[in-house]
Amino acid sequence: MTLTVRKSEERGRANFGWLDSKHSFSFGHYHDPRHMGFGPLRVINDDRVAPGGGFPTHPHSDMEIISYVLDGALEHKDSLGTGSVIRPGDVQRMSAGTGVRHSEFNASKTEPVHFLQIWIIPEKKGIEPGYEQKAFSDAEKRGRLRLIGSRDGREGSVTIHQDVDLYATLLGKGDVVDHAIAPGRGGWVQVARGSVSLNGETLGEGDGVAVSTSGPLRIEGRSDAEVLLFDMGA
C-alpha cells in the first residue's frame, strides 16, 4: 500500500483577519502544481471564521461542496431559497451543478466557527443544483467509521454525485478502526483534530494522507481525535 503524507504545516494558507484558511490543495491565491487535488477530491479547506465574519454571496457551478463543522455554527443561504445553520455533527452537501449563488457566515457574533469545506468534482456537468443536510451524532461515529456521504445515499448518508464514500470517526486514545481500499480505488485520510496513527504512521491535526493503492488501513487514536476518510473511484 502506498501512503503519501501531506503535513499540516505544508498546506497553503490565507489569513484575512476574519478568515484563517489552510488549503490541502491549490485554492485561490495558493497554487502548487504538485497539489491540485487527489482523484475527484479537489479541495479541503480548513477554515476558521471570526465572530460576525463570513463569505458574501458568490457563485459556484459543477462542484459538490460539503461543509463539515467542527466547532461553532455556520449560517448558509443560497439562491435555491434554502438556508440553515450548520453545527457540529451536521453534514451539508450542495450540488452547484448548472449554477448557484450562496453565502456562508459565522452564525455567532461572539464565538469563532471552525469547519472543513470540501469540494468534489461531480461525475458529470450540468446537473440540477441541489442541497441536502443531515445530522450524525457523536455516538454514531465513536470508535467506528460512520458513512456520512455516498453516491447512493445509503445508510442515511448525504448523496454525493460522484463515486465517493465519505466516512467520519471519533476516536479515543487506543481506539482502532479498520477499512480496506478495494483494487482500482484510492483514498484520502484527513485528520480534523487530535492525533492518530495510520498503518503505524503518526499523524497530527491537519495532516492528510493520499492512499494511491489498494489494501488495508488501520487508524488508531493517539489522543482524542476526529478523522475523515474518503474511499474513491480511480
pLDDT 10s digits, 93-130: 999 999 999 899 999 999 999 999 999 999 999 999 99
Q: Report d(CA 131, CA 125) in Å as an integer.
A: 16
Give the confidence band of 14 by pLDDT, cuts at 50, 70, 90: very high
pLDDT 10s digits, 166-192: 999 999 999 999 999 999 999 999 999
pLDDT 10s digits, 38-69: 999 999 999 999 999 999 899 999 999 999 99
Res 79: pLDDT? 83
Q: Report d(CA 11, CA 207) in Å as an integer.
A: 9
Instruction: Answer for the pair 48, 116: CB distance below 8 angstroms, yes or no.
Output: no
Query: Could you tell me the domains of the chain?
Result: 3-233 (2.60.120.10)
Instruction: Answer for the pair 47, 116: CB distance below 8 angstroms, yes or no.
Output: yes
**Which of 193, 200, 204, 197 is CA-nearest to residue 228?**
193
Q: What is the DSSP string of 165-197?
A: EEEEEEE-TT-EEEEEEPTTEEEEEEEEES-EE
Burial of 6 (0-12, 13-18, 19+ CB in 10 A): buried
Instruction: With 0.95 as the threshold, say if the pTM is over it.
Output: yes
